[in-house]
């Protein structure tokens, strides 16, 4: 039984890694390298959040000052940290990863109530990876079931924090991405393109001790993401110099320009937050991303998708009733088609209201965890196939007395919705499958 579970788990992990290799989903990556007596941690934050920031939080008598980067706004907690470093050179990065849930008795552990503050508190309280391990061991860190973390300090040691384990390492170079090392073989990990490119770079390129930042920039560049559809991918690259107490920022996978901050010097200026976008010249790729409209960032489109879901569901119920009530009505086959079509489109509107991935990855979109979501990628072609015949019938039924007014109006509203959806599908490039 245990062996079967391990096989199933490995199959799931491998499927997810292969999918990420093809589509760059969950696209985050990083590395820890020690060059001479200096240690660097590079972080590629790949996200669709268009509000990346860097902020500085000063310490007190009992806490340490720290700098953080992040793009997801967490209400009164501010932005959720994705990477950061404190004034003693302790640095971290957070990445998404799959790990199966385990039955573990953590009743004696503290519960993580505020994850954003919890992550900040670690940098405000610890100097070394050993201290981080001790701090985290007091909590039920399986709370972060979909995340892994890497911490590193000025000694070159690093700590990998997974949902159910913590491991300290001291290799000179260490590459990481969206997988849990304890349950992922090296062979499987190499299926993840960003990880593989980082490993290959370190195998082929000699470490440049005279220009460490230049070397790290090349390494970050080799692992960055730039998706074909609209050019989105790596929003922010941070290269943290643990020994020097500095960070070099690179915005929207442009490695020709950088902004450098000295953490201690910035902390002397007090608490403050800076939008990364304002630090760099206008980036045409980022502007394209900002202007790309989806139900997630456009209220009108979002309301239309939700309203369409309601329309399609009501259409199914209405024409199911009408199909049995008006058996002698003309275009009976059209009425019959509207019943399953309404259900299919209702589900598709649910998909379009869910994961944002479908709008950014190439068509046909494939979800490794849900075959039904993958199959919905072909619904735009179904609408393209039926819209003209349906419009022709729509014109004819207005003269047909066997169709009631509500039936005519409802059928017309469906056709209008189909036409608008087809326009949106063209905009989102859902028809670009070749």
CATH architecture, range 2-281: 4-Layer Sandwich (3.60)
**Burial call 16-28: b when 16+ CB within 10 Å, e when fewer:** bbebbbebbbbbb
- With 70 as the cut, is the pLDDT of residue 251 above it? yes
pLDDT per residue over 330-341, tens digit each?
A: 777 888 899 999
pLDDT per residue over 180-193, tens digit each?
A: 999 998 988 888 88
- The predicted pLDDT at position 342 comes to 96
C-alpha separations of 133 from 89, 124, 159, 275 in Å: 16, 14, 8, 31
Task: Name the average pLDDT for the chain.
Answer: 89
- With 70 as the cut, is the pLDDT of residue 326 above it? no
CA–chain centroid gap for 149, Å, is 16
- The predicted pLDDT at position 363 comes to 83
- With 60 as the cut, is the pLDDT of residue 118 above it? yes
Mean pLDDT computed over 89-98 = 95
Mean pLDDT computed over 58-64 = 94
- With 50 as the cut, is the pLDDT of residue 392 above it? yes
Query: With contact defined as beta carbons under 8 Å apart, do 374 and 365 qualify?
Result: yes
- The predicted pLDDT at position 332 comes to 79
Q: Which two tokens stand for residue 147?
A: 């995340």
- The predicted pLDDT at position 327 comes to 62
Higher pLDDT, 281 or 5: 281
The C-alpha atoms of residue 250 and residue 239 are separated, in whole angstroms, by 9
The C-alpha atoms of residue 271 and residue 263 are separated, in whole angstroms, by 12
- With 50 as the cut, is the pLDDT of residue 33 above it? yes
C-alpha separations of 202 from 151, 154, 267 in Å: 20, 21, 34
pLDDT per residue over 272-320, tens digit each?
A: 999 999 999 999 999 999 999 999 999 999 999 999 999 999 999 999 8
Confidence of residue 19 (pLDDT cuts 50, 70, 90): very low
- With 50 as the cut, is the pLDDT of residue 134 above it? yes
CA–chain centroid gap for 330, Å, is 49
pLDDT per residue over 121-132, tens digit each?
A: 999 999 999 999
- With 0-12 / 13-18 / 19 or more C-beta atoms within 10 angstroms meaning exposed / middle / buried, residue 409 is exposed
Q: Taking the domains of the chain in order of start, what are their residue ranges?
A: 2-281, 299-427
pLDDT per residue over 135-178, tens digit each?
A: 999 999 999 999 999 999 999 999 999 999 999 999 999 999 99
Confidence of residue 88 (pLDDT cuts 50, 70, 90): very high
The C-alpha atoms of residue 405 and residue 341 are separated, in whole angstroms, by 21
C-alpha separations of 255 from 170, 216, 225, 258, 342 in Å: 28, 11, 12, 7, 48
- With 60 as the cut, is the pLDDT of residue 23 above it? no
Contacts of residue 135, defined as CB under 8 A and 6 or more positions apart, other chains included, come to 122, 125, 126
- The predicted pLDDT at position 11 comes to 44
Higher pLDDT, 205 or 13: 205
- With 90 as the cut, is the pLDDT of residue 13 above it? no
The pTM of the full predicted model, rounded to 2 decimals, is 0.85
- The predicted pLDDT at position 15 comes to 47
pLDDT per residue over 377-388, tens digit each?
A: 999 999 999 999
Backbone angles phi, psi at 37, to 5 degrees: -100, 15
- With 90 as the cut, is the pLDDT of residue 361 above it? no
Cβ atoms within 10 Å, residue 399: 7
Confidence of residue 239 (pLDDT cuts 50, 70, 90): very high
């Amino acid at each position: 039984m245990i062996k079967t579970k391990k096989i199933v788990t490995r199959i799931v992990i491998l499927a997810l890694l292969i999918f990420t290799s093809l589509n760059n989903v969950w696209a985050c990556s990083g590395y820890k390298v020690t060059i001479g007596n200096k240690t660097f941690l590079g972080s590629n934050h790949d996200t669709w959040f268009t509000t990346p920031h860097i902020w500085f939080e000063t310490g007190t008598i009992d806490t340490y000052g720290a700098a953080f980067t992040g793009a997801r706004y967490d209400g009164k907690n501010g932005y959720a940290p994705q990477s950061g470093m404190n004034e003693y050179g302790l640095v971290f990065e957070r990445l998404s990863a799959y790990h199966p849930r385990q039955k573990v008795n953590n009743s004696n552990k503290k519960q993580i109530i505020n994850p954003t503050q919890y992550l900040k508190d670690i940098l405000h309280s610890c100097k070394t990876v050993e201290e981080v391990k001790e701090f985290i061991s007091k909590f039920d860190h399986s709370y972060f079931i979909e995340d892994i973390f890497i911490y590193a300090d000025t000694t070159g040691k690093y700590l990998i924090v997974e949902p159910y384990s913590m491991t300290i390492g001291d290799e000179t170079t260490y590459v990481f991405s969206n997988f849990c090392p304890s349950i992922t073989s090296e062979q499987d990990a190499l299926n993840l393109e960003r990880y593989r490119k980082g490993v290959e770079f370190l195998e082929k390129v000699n470490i440049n001790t005279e220009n460490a930042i230049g070397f790290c920039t090349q390494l970050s560049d080799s692992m960055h993401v730039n998706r074909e559809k609209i050019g989105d991918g790596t929003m922010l690259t941070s290269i943290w110099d643990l020994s020097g107490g500095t960070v070099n920022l690179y915005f929207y996978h442009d490695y020709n320009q950088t902004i450098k901050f000295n953490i201690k010097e910035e902390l002397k200026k007090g608490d403050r937050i800076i939008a990364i976008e304002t630090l760099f010249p206008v980036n045409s790729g980022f502007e394209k991303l900002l202007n790309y409209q989806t139900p997630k960032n456009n209220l009108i489109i979002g309301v239309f998708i939700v309203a369409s879901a309601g329309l399609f569901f009501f259409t199914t119920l209405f024409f199911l009733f009408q199909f049995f009530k008006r058996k002698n009505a003309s275009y009976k086959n059209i009425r019959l088609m509207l019943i399953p079509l309404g259900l299919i489109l209702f589900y598709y509107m649910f998909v379009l209201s869910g994961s944002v991935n479908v709008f950014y990855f190439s068509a046909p979109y494939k979800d490794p965890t849900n075959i039904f979501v993958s199959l919905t990628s072909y619904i735009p072609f179904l609408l393209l196939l039926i819209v003209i015949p349906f419009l022709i019938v729509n014109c004819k039924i207005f003269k047909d007395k066997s169709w009631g007014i509500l039936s005519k109006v409802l059928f017309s509203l469906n056709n209008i919705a189909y036409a608008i959806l087809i326009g949106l599908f063209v905009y989102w490039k859902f028809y670009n499958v070749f």
